[in-house]
Chain A
Protein backbone atom coordinates (compact mmCIF):
# COMPACT_ATOMS: atom_id res chain seq x y z
CA UNK A 1 0.00 0.00 0.00
CA UNK A 2 1.33 3.41 -0.93
CA UNK A 3 2.43 5.53 2.01
CA UNK A 4 -0.11 8.18 3.00
CA UNK A 5 1.07 11.76 2.70
CA UNK A 6 -0.15 15.20 3.72
CA UNK A 7 0.63 18.61 2.27
CA UNK A 8 2.11 21.37 4.39
CA UNK A 9 1.81 24.95 3.13
CA UNK A 10 4.63 26.71 4.90
CA UNK A 11 4.91 30.49 5.26
CA UNK A 12 8.30 31.55 3.86
CA UNK A 13 9.95 34.88 4.44
CA UNK A 14 13.68 35.29 3.96
CA UNK A 15 14.49 38.97 4.59
CA UNK A 16 17.70 38.73 2.51
CA UNK A 17 15.77 37.49 -0.57
CA UNK A 18 12.03 38.19 -0.22
CA UNK A 19 10.20 41.52 -0.20
CA UNK A 20 6.91 39.82 0.57
CA UNK A 21 6.24 36.47 2.21
CA UNK A 22 5.04 33.50 0.13
CA UNK A 23 3.67 30.04 0.85
CA UNK A 24 5.66 26.97 -0.19
CA UNK A 25 3.94 23.59 -0.43
CA UNK A 26 5.67 20.43 0.76
CA UNK A 27 4.48 16.86 0.88
CA UNK A 28 5.42 14.90 3.99
CA UNK A 29 4.64 11.35 5.09
CA UNK A 30 1.44 11.16 7.15
CA UNK A 31 1.86 9.33 10.44
CA UNK A 32 -0.84 9.03 13.08
CA UNK A 33 1.57 9.95 15.88
CA UNK A 34 3.23 12.90 14.14
CA UNK A 35 2.60 16.46 15.19
CA UNK A 36 3.11 19.51 12.95
CA UNK A 37 6.53 20.03 14.56
CA UNK A 38 7.58 16.49 13.51
CA UNK A 39 6.56 17.28 9.93
CA UNK A 40 8.57 20.54 10.01
CA UNK A 41 11.62 18.75 11.41
CA UNK A 42 11.24 16.10 8.69
CA UNK A 43 11.20 18.86 6.05
CA UNK A 44 14.22 20.58 7.57
CA UNK A 45 16.19 17.30 7.70
CA UNK A 46 15.10 15.79 4.37
CA UNK A 47 13.87 18.50 2.01
CA UNK A 48 14.88 22.07 2.76
CA UNK A 49 17.35 22.86 5.53
CA UNK A 50 16.67 26.58 5.24
CA UNK A 51 13.17 26.43 6.82
CA UNK A 52 13.45 28.31 10.11
CA UNK A 53 11.33 27.80 13.22
CA UNK A 54 11.76 27.75 17.00
CA UNK A 55 11.30 24.68 19.13
CA UNK A 56 12.83 23.05 22.15
CA UNK A 57 11.11 20.63 24.53
CA UNK A 58 8.65 18.94 22.15
CA UNK A 59 6.27 18.31 25.05
CA UNK A 60 4.21 21.48 25.58
CA UNK A 61 6.34 22.89 28.37
CA UNK A 62 8.83 25.36 26.89
CA UNK A 63 6.33 27.42 24.87
CA UNK A 64 8.78 27.95 21.97
CA UNK A 65 6.98 26.31 19.05
CA UNK A 66 3.80 28.40 18.85
CA UNK A 67 2.56 28.86 15.27
CA UNK A 68 -0.64 29.48 13.38
CA UNK A 69 -1.89 26.10 12.22
CA UNK A 70 -4.75 26.49 9.75
CA UNK A 71 -5.36 29.97 11.15
CA UNK A 72 -5.43 29.02 14.84
CA UNK A 73 -2.57 29.65 17.28
CA UNK A 74 -1.28 26.24 18.43
CA UNK A 75 1.82 24.75 19.96
CA UNK A 76 3.10 22.85 16.92
CA UNK A 77 4.30 20.06 19.25
CA UNK A 78 0.70 19.49 20.36
CA UNK A 79 -1.06 19.85 16.98
CA UNK A 80 -1.38 16.34 15.53
CA UNK A 81 -1.38 15.93 11.77
CA UNK A 82 -4.33 13.54 12.15
CA UNK A 83 -6.47 16.50 13.29
CA UNK A 84 -5.96 18.03 9.84
CA UNK A 85 -5.93 14.94 7.59
CA UNK A 86 -6.28 14.85 4.59
CA UNK A 87 -4.96 18.42 4.68
CA UNK A 88 -3.51 20.66 3.49
CA UNK A 89 -2.10 22.11 6.70
CA UNK A 90 -1.22 25.78 6.50
CA UNK A 91 1.59 26.73 8.88
CA UNK A 92 2.28 30.42 9.57
CA UNK A 93 4.16 32.42 12.19
CA UNK A 94 2.14 33.63 15.18
CA UNK A 95 -0.26 36.37 14.09
CA UNK A 96 0.09 39.96 15.36
CA UNK A 97 3.90 39.75 15.69
CA UNK A 98 6.52 41.01 13.22
CA UNK A 99 8.13 38.13 11.33
CA UNK A 100 11.91 37.79 11.48
CA UNK A 101 12.25 34.81 9.16
CA UNK A 102 9.86 32.07 8.00
CA UNK A 103 8.03 30.92 11.15
CA UNK A 104 10.09 32.96 13.60
CA UNK A 105 8.54 36.07 15.13
CA UNK A 106 10.13 38.96 16.96
CA UNK A 107 9.61 38.62 20.74
CA UNK A 108 10.90 42.05 21.82
CA UNK A 109 7.51 43.67 22.38
CA UNK A 110 6.24 40.77 24.49
CA UNK A 111 9.42 40.63 26.57
CA UNK A 112 9.22 44.39 27.22
CA UNK A 113 5.59 44.11 28.38
CA UNK A 114 6.27 41.05 30.48
CA UNK A 115 9.03 42.88 32.32
CA UNK A 116 6.84 45.97 32.77
CA UNK A 117 4.29 44.11 34.95
CA UNK A 118 7.04 42.95 37.33
CA UNK A 119 6.17 39.24 37.30
CA UNK A 120 8.02 38.30 40.44
CA UNK A 121 7.35 38.39 44.18
CA UNK A 122 7.89 41.86 45.59
CA UNK A 123 8.27 42.40 49.34
CA UNK A 124 8.24 45.79 51.03
CA UNK A 125 10.86 44.43 53.33
CA UNK A 126 12.57 41.06 53.04
CA UNK A 127 12.65 39.12 56.28
CA UNK A 128 15.96 37.58 57.27
CA UNK A 129 16.59 33.96 56.26
CA UNK A 130 16.82 33.04 59.94
CA UNK A 131 13.07 33.76 60.27
CA UNK A 132 12.30 30.96 57.83
CA UNK A 133 10.34 30.66 54.63
CA UNK A 134 7.17 32.53 53.61
CA UNK A 135 4.51 29.96 54.37
CA UNK A 136 1.40 29.57 52.29
CA UNK A 137 -1.75 27.48 52.83
CA UNK A 138 -3.17 25.22 50.07
CA UNK A 139 -6.12 27.64 49.77
CA UNK A 140 -3.75 30.59 49.25
CA UNK A 141 -1.88 28.60 46.60
CA UNK A 142 -5.15 27.66 44.85
CA UNK A 143 -5.95 31.36 44.60
CA UNK A 144 -3.29 31.98 41.94
CA UNK A 145 -2.11 28.54 40.78
CA UNK A 146 -4.08 28.52 37.53
CA UNK A 147 -2.45 31.79 36.42
CA UNK A 148 1.03 30.53 37.31
CA UNK A 149 0.78 27.82 34.62
CA UNK A 150 1.57 30.33 31.83
CA UNK A 151 4.53 29.20 29.70
CA UNK A 152 4.89 32.50 27.78
CA UNK A 153 4.07 30.78 24.48
CA UNK A 154 2.28 33.94 23.24
CA UNK A 155 -0.58 32.03 21.58
CA UNK A 156 -2.94 34.37 23.46
CA UNK A 157 -1.36 37.42 21.81
CA UNK A 158 -1.79 35.80 18.39
CA UNK A 159 -5.48 35.17 19.17
CA UNK A 160 -6.17 38.66 20.55
CA UNK A 161 -7.65 41.04 17.95
CA UNK A 162 -7.15 43.98 20.34
CA UNK A 163 -3.39 43.37 20.40
CA UNK A 164 -3.41 43.03 16.60
CA UNK A 165 -5.21 46.33 16.13
CA UNK A 166 -3.60 48.24 19.02
CA UNK A 167 -0.06 46.99 19.57
CA UNK A 168 0.28 49.22 22.67
CA UNK A 169 -2.06 46.86 24.54
CA UNK A 170 -0.12 45.15 27.35
CA UNK A 171 -1.83 41.91 26.36
CA UNK A 172 -3.22 38.72 27.88
CA UNK A 173 -0.20 36.74 29.16
CA UNK A 174 1.57 39.67 30.80
CA UNK A 175 -1.65 40.75 32.54
CA UNK A 176 -2.45 37.17 33.63
CA UNK A 177 1.01 36.99 35.20
CA UNK A 178 0.55 40.37 36.89
CA UNK A 179 -2.72 39.00 38.30
CA UNK A 180 -0.95 35.83 39.40
CA UNK A 181 1.50 37.83 41.54
CA UNK A 182 -1.18 40.23 42.79
CA UNK A 183 -3.11 37.22 44.10
CA UNK A 184 -0.07 35.65 45.77
CA UNK A 185 -0.31 35.94 49.58
CA UNK A 186 3.48 36.41 49.77
CA UNK A 187 3.49 39.37 47.39
CA UNK A 188 3.27 43.04 48.34
CA UNK A 189 3.85 44.58 44.91
CA UNK A 190 0.30 45.43 43.85
CA UNK A 191 0.94 49.17 44.28
CA UNK A 192 4.02 48.99 42.06
CA UNK A 193 2.18 47.08 39.31
CA UNK A 194 -0.81 49.44 39.37
CA UNK A 195 0.75 52.01 37.08
CA UNK A 196 0.99 49.47 34.25
CA UNK A 197 -1.94 47.16 35.05
CA UNK A 198 -4.57 49.90 35.43
CA UNK A 199 -3.24 52.13 32.62
CA UNK A 200 -5.23 52.91 29.44
CA UNK A 201 -3.17 50.46 27.37
CA UNK A 202 -3.81 47.72 29.86
CA UNK A 203 -6.86 45.98 31.32
CA UNK A 204 -9.27 48.70 30.15
CA UNK A 205 -8.25 48.09 26.53
CA UNK A 206 -9.54 44.50 26.70
CA UNK A 207 -12.98 44.07 25.12
CA UNK A 208 -13.40 40.50 26.40
CA UNK A 209 -13.37 38.68 23.09
CA UNK A 210 -12.17 35.70 25.13
CA UNK A 211 -10.26 33.92 22.36
CA UNK A 212 -7.02 34.18 24.41
CA UNK A 213 -8.47 31.75 26.96
CA UNK A 214 -9.75 29.43 24.21
CA UNK A 215 -6.33 28.96 22.62
CA UNK A 216 -4.30 28.80 25.86
CA UNK A 217 -2.64 25.35 25.98
CA UNK A 218 -2.37 25.51 29.79
CA UNK A 219 -5.93 26.64 30.63
CA UNK A 220 -4.61 29.80 32.26
CA UNK A 221 -7.70 31.86 31.35
CA UNK A 222 -6.05 35.24 30.74
CA UNK A 223 -9.43 36.76 29.80
CA UNK A 224 -10.74 35.94 33.28
CA UNK A 225 -7.58 37.35 34.89
CA UNK A 226 -7.99 40.64 33.02
CA UNK A 227 -11.66 41.02 34.02
CA UNK A 228 -10.76 40.31 37.65
CA UNK A 229 -8.06 42.99 37.47
CA UNK A 230 -10.69 45.39 36.06
CA UNK A 231 -12.76 44.80 39.21
CA UNK A 232 -9.64 45.40 41.34
CA UNK A 233 -8.94 48.60 39.35
CA UNK A 234 -12.50 49.87 39.79
CA UNK A 235 -12.38 49.16 43.56
CA UNK A 236 -9.02 50.92 43.73
CA UNK A 237 -10.53 53.98 42.05
CA UNK A 238 -13.51 54.01 44.45
CA UNK A 239 -11.12 53.71 47.40
CA UNK A 240 -8.98 56.57 46.15
CA UNK A 241 -12.11 58.78 45.87
CA UNK A 242 -13.56 57.79 49.26
CA UNK A 243 -10.23 57.79 51.06
CA UNK A 244 -8.08 60.38 49.24
CA UNK A 245 -5.68 60.55 52.19
CA UNK A 246 -4.68 56.99 51.41
CA UNK A 247 -5.82 53.52 52.31
CA UNK A 248 -2.41 51.90 52.53
Chain B
Protein backbone atom coordinates (compact mmCIF):
# COMPACT_ATOMS: atom_id res chain seq x y z
CA UNK B 1 0.00 0.00 0.00
CA UNK B 2 1.37 3.39 -0.87
CA UNK B 3 2.17 5.89 1.87
CA UNK B 4 0.94 9.48 1.67
CA UNK B 5 3.10 11.92 3.60
CA UNK B 6 1.22 14.58 5.58
CA UNK B 7 1.80 18.23 4.70
CA UNK B 8 2.78 20.38 7.67
CA UNK B 9 0.73 23.53 8.26
CA UNK B 10 3.97 25.54 8.19
CA UNK B 11 5.00 24.13 4.77
CA UNK B 12 5.65 27.67 3.57
CA UNK B 13 8.55 28.03 6.02
CA UNK B 14 10.54 25.43 4.08
CA UNK B 15 11.81 27.69 1.28
CA UNK B 16 12.61 31.36 0.75
CA UNK B 17 10.40 31.44 -2.37
CA UNK B 18 7.43 30.10 -0.41
CA UNK B 19 8.01 32.68 2.34
CA UNK B 20 8.19 35.50 -0.23
CA UNK B 21 4.97 34.22 -1.80
CA UNK B 22 3.17 34.19 1.56
CA UNK B 23 4.52 37.65 2.37
CA UNK B 24 3.20 38.92 -0.96
CA UNK B 25 -0.23 37.40 -0.26
CA UNK B 26 -0.17 39.04 3.17
CA UNK B 27 0.41 42.47 1.66
CA UNK B 28 -3.03 42.16 0.01
CA UNK B 29 -4.57 42.17 3.51
CA UNK B 30 -3.27 45.70 4.08
CA UNK B 31 -4.71 46.83 0.75
CA UNK B 32 -8.04 45.30 1.81
CA UNK B 33 -7.89 46.98 5.26
CA UNK B 34 -7.14 50.31 3.62
CA UNK B 35 -10.20 49.94 1.38
CA UNK B 36 -12.40 49.22 4.43
CA UNK B 37 -10.95 52.30 6.10
CA UNK B 38 -11.61 54.35 2.96
CA UNK B 39 -15.23 53.17 2.80
CA UNK B 40 -15.65 54.21 6.46
CA UNK B 41 -14.28 57.64 5.57
CA UNK B 42 -16.80 57.98 2.72
CA UNK B 43 -19.62 56.99 5.05
CA UNK B 44 -18.48 59.67 7.56
CA UNK B 45 -18.45 62.23 4.76
CA UNK B 46 -22.18 61.66 4.30
CA UNK B 47 -22.84 62.74 7.91
CA UNK B 48 -22.69 66.25 9.41
CA UNK B 49 -19.48 68.32 9.06
CA UNK B 50 -18.65 68.03 12.78
CA UNK B 51 -18.59 64.21 12.66
CA UNK B 52 -16.35 64.29 9.61
CA UNK B 53 -13.92 66.79 11.18
CA UNK B 54 -13.66 64.58 14.30
CA UNK B 55 -12.99 61.59 12.05
CA UNK B 56 -10.22 63.50 10.24
CA UNK B 57 -8.58 64.54 13.53
CA UNK B 58 -8.56 60.88 14.67
CA UNK B 59 -6.96 59.96 11.36
CA UNK B 60 -4.04 62.26 12.14
CA UNK B 61 -3.11 60.21 15.22
CA UNK B 62 0.13 58.20 15.29
CA UNK B 63 -1.41 54.67 15.01
CA UNK B 64 -3.39 55.71 11.91
CA UNK B 65 -0.38 57.37 10.30
CA UNK B 66 1.63 54.22 11.01
CA UNK B 67 -1.12 52.09 9.47
CA UNK B 68 -1.10 54.26 6.34
CA UNK B 69 2.67 53.98 6.00
CA UNK B 70 2.55 50.17 6.38
CA UNK B 71 -0.37 49.93 3.91
CA UNK B 72 1.51 52.11 1.41
CA UNK B 73 4.67 49.98 1.64
CA UNK B 74 2.57 46.80 1.30
CA UNK B 75 0.72 48.17 -1.74
CA UNK B 76 3.99 49.24 -3.40
CA UNK B 77 5.58 45.81 -2.76
CA UNK B 78 2.47 44.06 -4.13
CA UNK B 79 2.42 46.25 -7.24
CA UNK B 80 6.16 45.98 -7.96
CA UNK B 81 6.17 42.18 -7.65
CA UNK B 82 3.10 42.01 -9.89
CA UNK B 83 4.55 44.28 -12.59
CA UNK B 84 7.78 42.28 -12.50
CA UNK B 85 5.77 39.15 -13.36
CA UNK B 86 3.99 40.67 -16.36
CA UNK B 87 6.67 39.53 -18.88
CA UNK B 88 5.79 35.94 -17.95
CA UNK B 89 2.13 36.55 -18.69
CA UNK B 90 2.35 38.73 -21.79
CA UNK B 91 4.63 37.27 -24.44
CA UNK B 92 5.24 39.33 -27.56
CA UNK B 93 7.52 37.96 -30.26
CA UNK B 94 9.41 39.64 -33.03
CA UNK B 95 10.11 36.80 -35.41
CA UNK B 96 11.70 34.01 -33.38
CA UNK B 97 12.75 36.20 -30.45
CA UNK B 98 10.75 37.35 -27.46
CA UNK B 99 10.91 41.11 -27.02
CA UNK B 100 12.90 42.08 -23.88
CA UNK B 101 11.12 41.80 -20.52
CA UNK B 102 11.67 45.51 -19.89
CA UNK B 103 9.49 46.41 -22.87
CA UNK B 104 6.57 44.57 -21.23
CA UNK B 105 7.11 45.61 -17.60
CA UNK B 106 8.24 49.17 -18.52
CA UNK B 107 4.89 50.43 -19.89
CA UNK B 108 3.15 49.02 -16.80
CA UNK B 109 5.46 51.03 -14.55
CA UNK B 110 4.99 54.09 -16.79
CA UNK B 111 1.20 53.73 -16.56
CA UNK B 112 1.39 53.35 -12.78
CA UNK B 113 3.59 56.44 -12.45
CA UNK B 114 1.40 58.44 -14.84
CA UNK B 115 -1.82 57.59 -13.01
CA UNK B 116 -0.23 58.28 -9.61
CA UNK B 117 0.99 61.70 -10.77
CA UNK B 118 -2.46 62.47 -12.21
CA UNK B 119 -4.11 61.58 -8.87
CA UNK B 120 -1.56 63.68 -6.93
CA UNK B 121 -2.23 66.59 -9.29
CA UNK B 122 -6.01 66.28 -8.91
CA UNK B 123 -5.86 65.99 -5.10
CA UNK B 124 -3.38 68.83 -4.53
CA UNK B 125 -4.45 71.34 -7.16
CA UNK B 126 -8.11 70.81 -7.89
Contacts and interface: CB of A to CB of B under 8 A. Distances in A.
Contacts of B11: 161, 164-165
A228 B5 contact: no
Interface of A: 13, 15, 20-21, 71-72, 95-96, 98-100, 106, 138-139, 141-143, 161, 164-165, 207-211, 214, 221, 223-224, 227-228, 230-231
Contacts of A221: 88
A95 B5 contact: yes
A209 B2 contact: no
A224 B2 CA distance: 32
B21 A210 contact: yes
A224 B3 contact: no
B88 A15 contact: no
A106 B89 contact: no
A230 B97 CA distance: 22
A78 B4 CA distance: 26
B89 A98 contact: no
5 contacts: A21-B5, A139-B95, A142-B93, A209-B18, A228-B91
A203 to B, nearest CB: 12
A165 B7 contact: yes
A227 B18 contact: no
B85 interface: yes
Contact of B17 (A165, A210, A224): A210
A227 B7 contact: no
Contact of A161 (B12, B85, B88): B12
Interface string B16-44: 01100100010000000000000000000
A15 B93 contact: no
B89 to A, nearest CB: 4
